[in-house]
Amino acid sequence: MEGANRYEQPIEGHFGQHGGRFVAETLMHALDELAALYDSAILDPEFQRELQRDMETYVGRPSPLYFAERLTREFGGAQVYLKREDLNHTGAHKVNNTIGQALLAKRMGKPRVIAETGAGQHGVATATVAARLGLECQVYMGAEDIKRQSPNVYRMKLLGAEVIPVTSGSRTLKDAMNEALRDWVTNVDNTHYIIGTVAGPDPYPRMVRDFQSVIGREARAQCLEQFGRLPDTLVACVGGGSNAIGLFYPFIDDASVRMVGVEAAGRGLDSGAHAAPLNAGQVGVLHGNRTYLMQSDDGQIMETHSISAGLDYPGVGPEHSHLLDIGRAEYAAATDDEAMAAFRQLNIMEGILPALESSHALAWVASHAGQMDPDQIIVVNLSGRGDKDIFTVAELDGISL
Amino acid sequence: MSRLGVRLGELAGQDRKALVTFITAGDPDTDTTVPALHALVEGGADVIELGVPFSDPEAEGPAIQRSSERALANGVGLNTCLDMVKEFRKNNASTPLVLMGYLNSIIAMGERAFAEAAAEAGVDGLIMVNLPPEEAGPLKLALQDHGLDLIFLLAPTTTPERASKIIEQGSGFLYYVTLKGITGADNLDVQAVGERVAQIKAEARVPVMVGFGIKDAASARALAVHADGVVVGSALVNTMAAGEDPQQLLADLTAQVADLRAGVDSQP
């Protein structure tokens, strides 16, 4: 790779026109402190050792790169490999980030952590690390999401966390994030806010990306080891985009590797009922960063729709917006129905129950793998397991569990 | 000189403190907003902050969140706010009025287009809750070109070094947030505010207002002692929400502001 073509690191938290730090003044000092601590921690061998040990012995890393043989035969094209983040402790990629941020909270001496959650996976992952480190933990969750993700709500309670229902706005992930920001502004002295995705004010997008990059680092090494070469295409679902950036980032300077993020097209991009800002949004500022957003002409954030709570968010991590602008990654979208079909297919053909979020990435593979050559390799990030979704799916099937 | 400069200069000359009052545009309905602005002036407000409703008001407490939701349900956005200011200016040419809200409303209109339209409507300044000076460059330039002030906030968590940088950039007035929290909170520590505001005033070239958590004449008086003026928001927004009969609502609002005015003026 020519040095001149290398991907440029963000400058003061800006990814091109995106990113930055758009928050109430009360939080600026906490962000400065967090950025300084993070910048020193990543260079500290002791911190890296601690992180590495937790990733191996607590999360269960490395996660396997699994060849989906029947699925590959079914599609009749590229070979499909699944990066099994669903096998992590707590059942999704989210824990890669919460482990790292909890270690930072411990270093800052903050006894309390808060989080926002949509599908509940990040809430569970936060409650988990809080339990392990003896931190007080409160999780904000939209009242609407509490209804559709009840197993995760109960898991958080079992882990000793308090789940606070959010009844403002659309009662989903974005409103939970507003409420978490309000909590943080009030309790900033003793509280660390563990944002669960690559959005929010600097340093969150680059910090969460770095913690999630373990996915791509492993996948890259596994590809080199198993095939002696890099994969052709990476595919991951994008809500805020943390699992996608985690897979993409270590390949960013490998120009031959195509990167595809898959947003939630909900009931269709033309229906307006979707959550696909990279496909159908405009640039704006929400939750501390500039990025593509689903918004009205006068800048009001729109209510989004997706069958999967974890993708039901009107914004997206600023680095994805930048990767779209510079053409390094491409962003497709899958509808609720396409995701559901892919969800069922993986169950039936591979014996794996995927999260509805990850099923959006699988849906893209279902419609594209067949057009690729059999010697090509697709790596799909299977970002989480779908146990939490069985109630939603059963309801669609008219079954009451 | 801008309306804001004139008014704050007059008050300083008379050794009086400013009363800055906030209501949300379009709450409880669009017809009441302009009469309510006049009612604020009649009660003795020196400066008006008109809240631009936003779908995701991250730094607001329940009172202003709900008012924003009601206003949005009435279809009120930035354009309507500017129309309301135009209407207000037909009968009031002297009271400074600043818009307060969140950056996305401005971005959607475009910084330059907003600055031009705001100046034409009779707006004097802008307070952006989620815009620290580091990110404010383009908007600040656009506003300057049209003689509008961009008002920055300082908080209890702002370090002295950072405060100096913000103070240097301040125009119109500086807004000191009295507490760590959201609007309408009640964890006010008057003595701590006094000490911090004294430090800021020692450096500042523009007046320093204090806001968040000021509910009544007593708290207005207690804080006015330390600053150049006080901002009252949630307490007035609650009055707007409670009114059923519009005429009674306006009378209540004027009476409440007069009471706050008396509090501010009674400080030694």
The three-state secondary structure class of B18 is strand
Question: How far does A36 lie from chain B, in Å, by closest CA?
Answer: 15
Q: Does A130 touch chain B (CB under 8 A)?
A: no
Res B267: pLDDT: 62
Q: Does A168 touch chain B (CB under 8 A)?
A: yes
Measured CA to CA, the distance from residue A368 to residue A372 in angstroms comes to 7
Share of chain B above pLDDT 70, in %: 99
CATH number at residue B157: 3.20.20.70
Question: Which residue in the block uniquely carries the two structure tokens 């950036």?
Answer: A245
Question: Which residue in the block uniquely carries the two structure tokens 């690390």?
Answer: A129
Instruction: Please judge whether B156 and A26 are an interchain contact, meaning their C-beta atoms are less than 8 angstroms apart.
Output: yes
Res A5: pLDDT: 65
Active site residue A94: yes
Instruction: Please judge whether B131 and A185 are an interchain contact, meaning their C-beta atoms are less than 8 angstroms apart.
Output: no
Closest CA to B76 of B112, B33, B40, B107: B33
In chain A, the residue whose alpha carbon lies closest to the alpha carbon of B103 is A285
User: What does the block give as tokens for A296?
Assistant: 């009205």
> Which residues from chain A sit within 8 angstroms of residue B182, using beta carbons?
182, 185-186
Q: Does A164 touch chain B (CB under 8 A)?
A: no
- In chain A, which among 225-264 make CB contacts under 8 A with chain B? none
In chain A, the residue whose alpha carbon lies closest to the alpha carbon of B80 is A298
Question: How far does A285 lie from chain B, in Å, by closest CA?
Answer: 5
Res A4: pLDDT: 47
Instruction: Please judge whether B135 and A28 are an interchain contact, meaning their C-beta atoms are less than 8 angstroms apart.
Output: no
Active site residue A218: no
In chain B, the residue whose alpha carbon lies closest to the alpha carbon of A178 is B58
Q: Does A24 touch chain B (CB under 8 A)?
A: yes
pLDDT tens for each residue of chain A, 401 residues long: 444 468 888 888 999 999 999 999 999 999 999 999 999 999 999 999 999 999 999 999 999 999 999 999 999 999 999 999 999 999 999 999 999 999 999 999 999 999 999 889 999 999 999 999 999 999 999 998 898 788 899 999 999 999 999 998 888 899 999 999 999 999 999 999 999 999 999 999 999 999 999 999 999 999 999 999 999 999 999 999 999 999 999 999 999 999 999 999 999 999 999 999 999 999 999 999 999 999 999 999 999 999 998 999 999 999 999 999 999 999 999 999 999 999 999 999 999 999 999 999 999 999 999 999 999 999 999 999 999 999 999 999 999 88
Of B65, B105, B152, the CB nearest to A299: B105
Whether residue A289 contacts residue A20, with contact meaning beta carbons closer than 8 Å, is answered with yes
Question: How far does B35 lie from chain A, in Å, by closest CA?
Answer: 25
User: What does the block give as tokens for A151?
Assistant: 């197993």
Report how many helices (DSSP H) and strands (DSSP E) chain A contains, helices first.
Answer: 16, 14
Of B69, B105, B134, the CB nearest to A21: B134
Instruction: Please judge whether B181 and A185 are an interchain contact, meaning their C-beta atoms are less than 8 angstroms apart.
Output: yes
Q: Select from A18, A23, A25, A190 the residue whose CB has the most chain B CBs within 10 Å, as the one to mutate to test that interface.
A: A25
In chain B, the residue whose alpha carbon lies closest to the alpha carbon of A174 is B56
In chain B, the residue whose alpha carbon lies closest to the alpha carbon of A298 is B108
Question: How far does B42 lie from chain A, in Å, by closest CA?
Answer: 32
Whether residue B177 contacts residue B154, with contact meaning beta carbons closer than 8 Å, is answered with yes
> Which residues from chain B sit within 8 angstroms of residue A185, using beta carbons?
59, 180-182
Question: How far does B60 lie from chain A, in Å, by closest CA?
Answer: 8
Measured CA to CA, the distance from residue A106 to residue B207 in angstroms comes to 41
Instruction: Please judge whether B78 and A298 are an interchain contact, meaning their C-beta atoms are less than 8 angstroms apart.
Output: yes
**pLDDT (average), residues B178-200:** 90
Q: Does A28 touch chain B (CB under 8 A)?
A: yes
> Which residues from chain B sit within 8 angstroms of residue A282, using beta carbons?
108
Question: How far does B254 lie from chain A, in Å, by closest CA?
Answer: 30
Whether residue A267 contacts residue A274, with contact meaning beta carbons closer than 8 Å, is answered with yes
Catalytic residue (choose from A63, A242, A321, A383) = A383
Q: How many domains does chain B have?
A: 1
Q: What are phi and psi of A330, to 5 degrees?
A: -120, 155
* Bridge partner residues of A66 (DSSP): A82
Res B162: pLDDT: 97
CB contact burial A324-341 (16+ within 10 A = b; e otherwise) = beeebbebbbbbbebbbb
Instruction: Please judge whether A285 and B109 are an interchain contact, meaning their C-beta atoms are less than 8 angstroms apart.
Output: no
- The 10s digit of each residue's pLDDT in B145-170 is 999 999 999 999 999 999 999 999 99
Active site residue A136: no
Amino acid at B230: V
Question: How far does A28 lie from chain B, in Å, by closest CA?
Answer: 7
Quote the distance between the C-alpha of residue B20 and its chain's center.
6
Of A23, A169, A187, the CB nearest to B130: A23
User: What does the block give as tokens for A257?
Assistant: 């590797």
Q: Does A166 touch chain B (CB under 8 A)?
A: no
| Domain range for B168 | 3-265
Average pLDDT, chain B: 95
* Bridge partner residues of A115 (DSSP): A139
Res A1: pLDDT: 41
Q: Does A57 touch chain B (CB under 8 A)?
A: no
Q: Cα separations (Å) of A170 from A41, A178, B91?
A: 37, 11, 39
> Which residues from chain B sit within 8 angstroms of residue A20, using beta carbons?
134-135
Closest CA to B18 of B155, B159, B174, B150: B174
Instruction: Please judge whether B158 and A27 are an interchain contact, meaning their C-beta atoms are less than 8 angstroms apart.
Output: no
